[in-house]
Amino acid sequence: MSSNFNVDSIISKLHQLRHKKGKIKTKLKENEIKKLILLAREIFINQPILLELATPIMILGDIHGQYSDLFNYFDHGGYPPNGNYLFLGDYVGRKYYSTKLWKLFLSCFQCLPLSAIIDDKIFCVHGGLSPNLTSLNQIKNIKRPKEVKDHGLVCDLLWSDPSPKNKEWGLNERGVSYTYGSKVVNQFNQAYGFDLIVRAHQVVDEGFEFFANRSLVTVFSAPYYCGEFDNAGGMVIVNEELCCSFFKEIMENIGLFLFECTSDEKDRLVFRNKLKEINL
């Protein structure tokens, strides 16, 4: 890596674009982008594929390249490194760019971690669970870079979905992977000592949506997705006591919604049946 490659300078350029609307352009050179991708790839592949993270932390679901919305979350939670974030995938929008540059991005994405555990109690993943998963060591043993096939463990971690239609496993309407029901969620959490699964992958109206008696929550962080959905965007905030609150973004209006949560004597997360809204 060239000694004159300045990551902070690139971040500063990108930060200056935060208030621009519509199609956003920057003066980054293609060579700078390539170097940045290669640097990120090196960092990712040297991280564990199953991350073990500590609180406090904020969790974001699909952001889909909605740049100004990303900064709204940073405004609330603090800018890195002052704010600690876990992103659950679907980072970019569905656009067409330089094929050569896009392949370089893909080579970077193939080195990303696949899942994370927060303080031994919260399991985080993009899609969800897999009938092929019988031990967390299976995730730890996956070699990267990894191309995603249309079946198997990696496919399921990325593309499976919860479904109220069945308690166990079912066919996925997406045509790939499976759906899983509340029984699967509860058995998984019990087997590994988790209190909560946090996943993304699906548009949900309020930005977050509980499943399986609040043993799983879907978080989706791209409000008004693709200009076609009237959904809010959400962010999960986990503090040092493993209490979870939810930051909710509705288009240009930002609101903070809190699900109060405490730990009981069995060290399990308990969600109270009270939803508070605080307008900022």
Category of 267 on φ-ψ map: left (φ > 0), alpha (ψ -120 to 50) or beta: left
- Over residues 60-74, the pLDDT tens digits come to 999 998 888 999 999
pLDDT confidence of residue 143 = 96
pLDDT confidence of residue 255 = 47
- Assigned token pair, 148: 């995603």
Positive or negative CA dihedral for 89, 94, 97, 102? positive
Q: Where are the beta strands (DSSP E) in the chain?
A: 50-53, 57-60, 85-87, 115-118, 122-125, 161-162, 169-171, 178-180, 196-199, 208-211, 216-219, 233-238, 244-250, 253-263, 269-279
The pTM (predicted TM-score) of the whole model is 0.87
pLDDT confidence of residue 250 = 77
What is the CATH architecture of 29-279?
Answer: 4-Layer Sandwich (3.60)
Domain boundaries of the chain, sorted by first residue: 29-279
**Across the 280 residues of the chain, what is the mean pLDDT of every consecutive 10-residue run?**
75 81 73 92 97 97 91 92 95 71 91 97 98 97 94 97 95 95 97 97 95 96 90 94 89 46 39 33
Distance CA 189, CA 201 (A): 20
Q: Rounded to whole angstroms, what are the CA distances from 218 to 82, 102, 127, 142? A: 25, 28, 9, 25
Instruction: Look over the chain and give the mean of its residue pLDDT values, rounded to a whole number.
Output: 86
pLDDT confidence of residue 27 = 74
